[in-house]
Amino acid sequence: MSSKFISAITIVVFFIMFLSAGCGSREEEQTEQQGGQQAKAPTESGSTPQSKVSEMPAQQAMPTGGQATQEQLAAGGLDAKTEQAQQALAKMNEGKVVEPIDFHRLKELLPDSVQGIKKSDSSGGRTKVMGMDIARAEAKYQGQGDPAFAAASAERAAAKYLSIRITDMGSVSGPIRMGMAAWARAEFERETDTGYERTTTYKGHKAMEEFDKQDKRGAFHVHVADRFIVEIDGINMSMDTIKKSLDQIDLNKLVSYASGQ
């Protein structure tokens, strides 16, 4: 999983935890107030409340059982926090709960080779954390350069690397997706002596491209159907080659997945 992807998830998780903590703190405060009122209630003849008396033997007779009870309570608290996060996330997604596509179906969209470079590795998975549900598939491609050009062109002699990632943001498909693809709602263009980055479009979809001429690294990201993110990163290849690699991804299939087909 890339560092950008992990950072995006981290931001979203902390945001959800913040909202959930707010809900939980209000409930805890109400519980404490009710408990305080019960504690202040008078007892007859100054005797120990019956509830306290019944608790004492159980506590003394269960030196090890208490630990199990605490673990169960902790698990129950975690489930409650997760449920609160799911409710908060659904509210931010305008009440929608979206199940991500099976990551195996995303892997099927990854070609065996791109621009003459064969696939060297592929992976996929599904991540569920704090109410978020995300599926992802990735393929890596590696091609050797031509040693015959070593003397004349180091660029053509160097090995070429390419990676393609498809992410289904699933339950993060509402406004909260801004934490993972802010560029999809922005317009910008920046250029330096060694490279550039700018937003653009690709076959009607919002996209972003960036290229570093000095390091010979480029990236092209596409936001599809307000839900999927397709990312292509290349090393030792031109931006034209990176874009042509994207032509081998069936974006229409992603659109159909988003519509439930």
Distances (CA, A) of 201 to 24, 183, 185, 243: 43, 12, 12, 12
> What would the two tokens of residue 44 be?
């007859």
Distances (CA, A) of 81 to 16, 17, 102, 124: 10, 8, 26, 28
Contact predicate 232/209, CB 8 Å: no
Residue 139, pLDDT score: 98
Rounded to an integer, what distance in angstroms lies between the CA atom of residue 259 and that of residue 261? 6
Cα distance from N-terminal residue to C-terminal residue, the chain: 28
Q: Which of 145, 155, 143, 147 is nearest to 245 (CA)?
A: 143
* Radius of gyration for the chain, computed over Cα atoms and rounded to the nearest angstrom: 27
Residue 261, pLDDT score: 67
Contact predicate 1/165, CB 8 Å: no
* Chain CA centroid to CA 136, Å: 9
Rounded to an integer, what distance in angstroms lies between the CA atom of residue 32 and that of residue 24? 12
Residue 63, pLDDT score: 44
Task: Give the domain ranges of the chain.
Answer: 10-92, 97-258
Neighbour count for residue 218 (Cβ, 10 Å): 24
pTM of the model: 0.64
Residue 212, pLDDT score: 95
Residue 59, pLDDT score: 43
Angle (nearest 5°) at CA 213 between 208 and 214: 130
Class of domain 97-258: alpha beta
Q: What phi and psi values does residue 66 have, to the nearest 5 degrees?
A: -60, -35
The pLDDT tens digits along the chain (261 residues) read: 444 544 444 444 444 444 444 444 444 445 455 555 554 444 444 444 444 444 444 444 444 444 545 555 455 555 666 666 566 655 655 566 678 999 999 999 999 999 889 999 999 999 987 777 899 999 999 987 655 545 555 655 678 999 999 999 887 755 566 666 778 778 999 999 999 999 999 999 999 999 999 888 999 999 998 889 999 999 988 899 999 999 999 999 999 998 886
